[in-house]
Amino acid sequence: MMDIPPQMRTGRIERATAETRIEVEVNLDGTGRSSLATGIGFFDHMLDLFAKHSLIDLQVKAEGDLHVDGHHTVEDVGLALGKAILQALGEKRGIRRYGFFILPMDEARVTTAVDFGGRPLFVWEVDLPYEMLGGFSSPLAEEFWRAFAHASLSNLHVTMNRGGNGHHVIEAIFKGTARAVRAAVELDPRSDAIPSTKGTLTA
């Protein structure tokens, strides 16, 4: 696993079921480097984009029942990534909490908004036809981000404003959500308080 200084905000999750074995490690204060091995090339590419654009160092090792399909692997990586980020955020002291981004990708344009406020909710306003992108079926993008939102206890809204090419739309979603997450987990230099009038964001 990655060699990370102890002062960094890090998370590490291992998840093992009859369907998958997942290891995910994150460093919220990284530079966007990644080491990815899920067995699904397109999914690795999307995770690489997420790391690069969020500036979260990300390591993922996944062994799943790909002889069935990619669903369990993609969903369980989403769960593990969400839990790892939640772990790394700790009590969320000093974070900006909210993030928002509009990302164009050729003909596609996607809007993403996220709140790490401790109440999971997922809104997916994306109209994508079924398409196979390597070993990744287009509906898996929704399954991944739903799992991420619930595991990270975040409120995540993803809206496709326009688009026709499935690859472009999904890539815009991963890049745009990465940028929104980056903004939300960044430390605010003006405050080290927990950004809530309740005084907690842990539930």
Token digits of residue 164: 């026709």
> How many domains does one find in the chain?
1
Q: Is residue 196 part of a domain?
A: no
| Residues composing the chain | 203
What would the two tokens of residue 188 be?
């605010």
Burial annotation 46-69 (CB, 10 A radius, 16+ → b, else e): bbbbbbbbbbbbbbbbbebebeee
Q: Is residue 128 part of a domain?
A: yes
CA distances in angstroms from 172 to 50, 122, 161, 162, 169, listed in the order given:
10, 18, 11, 11, 5
Q: Kindly report, residue by residue over 108-122, the tens digit of the pLDDT.
A: 999 999 999 999 999
Query: What contacts 190, CB < 8 A, 6 or more positions away?
Result: none
pLDDT for the residue 4: 42
pLDDT at 68: 86
Q: Which two tokens stand for residue 109?
A: 């344009």
Separation of alpha carbons 17 and 160, rounded Å: 33
Query: How far apart are the C-alpha atoms of 27 and 169, rounded to whole Å?
Result: 27
Per-residue confidence (pLDDT) for residue 198, from 0 to 100? 85
* 185/11 Cα distance (integer angstroms): 13
Q: What is the pLDDT of residues 59-116, one digit of tens each?
A: 999 999 988 889 999 999 999 999 999 999 999 999 999 999 999 999 999 999 999 9
Asked, for residue 199, whether it belongs to a domain, the answer is: no
Q: Is 29 within a domain?
A: yes
Q: Which residue in this structure is represented by tokens 């590419």?
A: 45
| pLDDT for the residue numbered 7 | 62
Q: Does residue 104 lie within any of the structural domains?
A: yes
Contacts of 192 by beta carbon, 8 Å cutoff, 6+ apart: 93, 94
CA angle 134, 21, 65 (to 5 degrees): 45
81 part of a folded domain: yes
pLDDT at 203: 64
Residue 197 lies in a domain: no
146-190: pLDDT as tens digits: 999 999 999 999 999 999 999 999 999 999 999 999 999 999 999
Sign of CA dihedral 147, 148, 150, 156: negative
- The DSSP element (H or E) to which 13 belongs, if any, is strand 10-16
CATH number for the domain spanning 86: value is: 3.30.230.40
Q: Is residue 169 part of a domain?
A: yes
Q: What is the mean pLDDT of residues 124-153?
A: 96
What mean pLDDT comes out for the span 38-63?
A: 98
**Nearest CA among 7, 47, 63, 59 for reference residue 171:** 47
Give the structural domain span for 138. Answer: 10-185
The pLDDT of residue 5 is above 80:
no
Instruction: Check residues 170 and 196 and name the one with the higher pLDDT.
Output: 170
Mean pLDDT for the stretch of residues 24-39: 98
